[in-house]
Amino acid sequence: MNRERAWIHIRDSFWFLPTIYSILSIICVSLVTMVDLWIIPKVKENIPSILLMNTSAAQTLYGSLITSILTMTTISFSTIMVVLTTYSTQFSPRTLQDFMKSRVTQHVLGVFSFGFIFVIINLLLMGSEQSKELISPFLTVIVSIVCLAFFILFIHHSSRFVQVNNLIGTIRSSTSKVIKKTYEAKNYYEFSDWNEQVIRERKKKRKKIIYARESGYAQTVGIPSLIEWASKRDTLIEADFFVGSYLQKGMPVFYCWSDTEEEEALEGCHDYLLIGNERTDLQDIEFSLQKLVEIAVKAISPSTNDPHTAVNCINRIGSLLAELGAVYEPIRYFADGNKELCLIMEPIAYEEYLYKSFYQIRIYGSQDISVMNGVLEALYKVAVVNDDTVKGDVWEFGVYMMKAVHTEQLDELDFKHFKHQVEKLADSCNETISFQR
């Protein structure tokens, strides 16, 4: 998990890829310098003159290229700050992660770092012999053209990323990947039920409580490694948290039942829990949905007054809930390759995902009939593509949403559309409803 912790910090930082590109730049400068010193003098008669340049002209060229690359880098950083400010004020502070971890953004800064270091080190290593023929200036021009291409790409990328519809689509795609990864086939066994007698027998062993070493959000749990660790020690582990929940230092996070005499060795299971200062979308489906909820809530606020964006978010939330309902299983028991129970971890109920997705929209959007109709439409689409278990949860939550609308205050035409959505939802959930003012 230390490797996982390091990867999260690296992924969300701006310095990692630029550092890699800078190191590559130094290596390339070394190779180009060796070519200029040892190979070009021997074969320059066979090289077209357009590819070679003397030292005097190269110095002038390098001075101009350094200024231009530094200018493009400065503009790019300024653009980044504008995008981050826009995300914080208009969308949600949680969406900053999506732009920060964008590979396009980090690769662009990396290419600029490569170009700047490539040019400036070549200038320093040029030497004082004015008549020397060099191929490095031609290669530097190519690097500068590549930097320009990436600069144009970055401007296009930033302009698209700052568009709310594109941002919503990006979050929806990334959340869909998290759902698929969470419920894909594993190399261990997962079960929704287990023999209670077997569990009671396993819990007759010596009990050890593992406490949180620090305060923060539970970002990820290394379930495969934790199962392997428990299997080797013939230990049953029960987690006392959900991924994404906030843990206070000193609170219980794991309960272990084992016959081992070395109780301190059981503290090792804490190494498979990653706690950080903020929630991440590595395993946290709810957090990914929360980003869309916050964009929707801001869109329906009086200061923004953009219900169409809110409905767009609601449609994407409904799509994700439909995907989740198709694969969702209340998995709480995890076993090793021999089907020996190793880990118990309570799942987040599907109805909880429904509640967290729409309850804030219900609070702030109950007076906007277009928003409430959008929620009922999304619930209808979730129900119509899923089985009876999901339909039951959707209908129960749908009734909760309907109660927020004061139908007696609606105009006749608004009531007609609202009633139509209610009847559609009831029909998709195999329910009957007599809906009157």
Q: 133 is written with which tokens?
A: 């023929």
SS (H, E, C) the chain: CHHHHHHHHHHCCCCHHHHHHHHHHHHHHHHHHHHHHHHHHHHHHHCCHHHCEEHHHHHHHHHHHHHHHHHHHHHHHHHHHHHHHHHHHHHCHHHHHHHHCCHHHHHHHHHHHHHHHHHHHHHHCCCCCCCCEECHHHHHHHHHHHHHHHHHHHHHHHHHHCCHHHHHHHHHHHHHHHHHHHCCCCCCEEECCCCHHHHHHHCCCEEEEEECCCCEEEEEECHHHHHHHHHHCCCEEEECCCCCCEECCCCEEEEEEECCCCHHHHHHHHHHEEEECCCCCCCCHHHHHHHHHHHHHHHCCCCCCCHHHHHHHHHHHHHHHHHHHHHCCCCCEEECCCCCEEEECCCCCHHHHHHHHHHHHHHHHCCCHHHHHHHHHHHHHHHHCCCHHHHHHHHHHHHHHHCCCCHHHCCHHHHHHHHHHHHHHHHHCCCCCCCCC
Strand order through the sheet with 273-276: 246-247, 216-221, 273-276
What is the reported pLDDT for 384?
94
CB–CB of 222/1 below 8 Å? yes
Residue 178: closest CA among 315, 280, 293: 280
Which pLDDT does position 436 carry in this prediction? 67
Q: How far apart are alpha carbons 437 and 415 in whole angstroms? A: 8
pLDDT attached to residue 243 = 92
Tell me the mean pLDDT per 10 residues along the chain, length 437.
Answer: 58 74 92 86 80 81 84 83 73 67 81 88 74 81 90 85 81 90 84 90 88 91 90 90 92 90 76 86 87 90 84 94 93 90 93 94 91 95 93 94 89 91 92 73
The predicted model scores a pTM of 0.79
pLDDT at 12: 58
Place of tokens 């980044």: 80
Q: Show Cβ contacts of residue 21 under 8 Å, excluding neighbours closer than 6 positions.
A: 110, 111, 113, 114
Domain locations along the chain: 2-162
Residue pair 52/133 in contact by the 8 Å Cβ criterion:
yes
Rounded to an integer, what distance in angstroms lies between the CA atom of residue 124 and that of residue 396? 72
Q: Are strands 189-191 and 333-335 parallel, antiparallel or unpaired?
A: antiparallel
How far, in Å, are 113, 158, 312, 313, 360 from residue 169 at the CA level?
Answer: 30, 15, 9, 9, 21
